[in-house]
């Protein structure tokens, strides 16, 4: 069973932030900019929500 403590949330958030940066780079490198833009927005919002949740748990 996976426990969502602040360590686990921190690692997940860090991974999502890296994916967000990578998808942002693919916006400029790819010909399918619409797909990567939508994916980038989705990943960024999810990473931000998890980051706020992680900070809320630590406090």
Reduced to 3 states, what is the DSSP secondary structure of residue 20? Answer: helix
Per-residue model confidence as pLDDT tens digits over 1-59: 667 777 888 888 999 999 999 999 999 998 888 999 999 999 999 999 988 888 888 77
Report the domain count for the chain. 1
Q: Is residue 37 part of a domain?
A: yes
User: For residues 47 and 16, is the Cβ–Cβ distance under 8 A?
Assistant: yes
Contacts for 39-45 with beta carbons within 8 Å, 24 or more apart? Answer: 43/16, 43/19, 44/20
Q: In angstroms, rounded to a whole number, what is the distance separating the alpha carbons of residues 23 and 36?
A: 6
Q: Is residue 38 part of a domain?
A: yes
Q: Is residue 52 part of a domain?
A: yes
Q: Is residue 13 part of a domain?
A: yes
| Structural domain boundaries, residue 47 | 6-58
Q: Is residue 19 part of a domain?
A: yes
pLDDT at position 24 is 92
Q: Is residue 1 part of a domain?
A: no
């Amino acid at each position: 069973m996976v426990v969502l403590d602040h360590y686990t949330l921190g690692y997940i958030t860090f991974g999502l932030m890296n994916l967000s940066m990578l998808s942002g780079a693919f916006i400029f490198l790819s010909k399918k900019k619409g797909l990567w833009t939508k994916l980038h927005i989705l990943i960024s919002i999810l990473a931000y929500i998890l980051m706020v949740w992680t900070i809320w748990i630590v406090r």
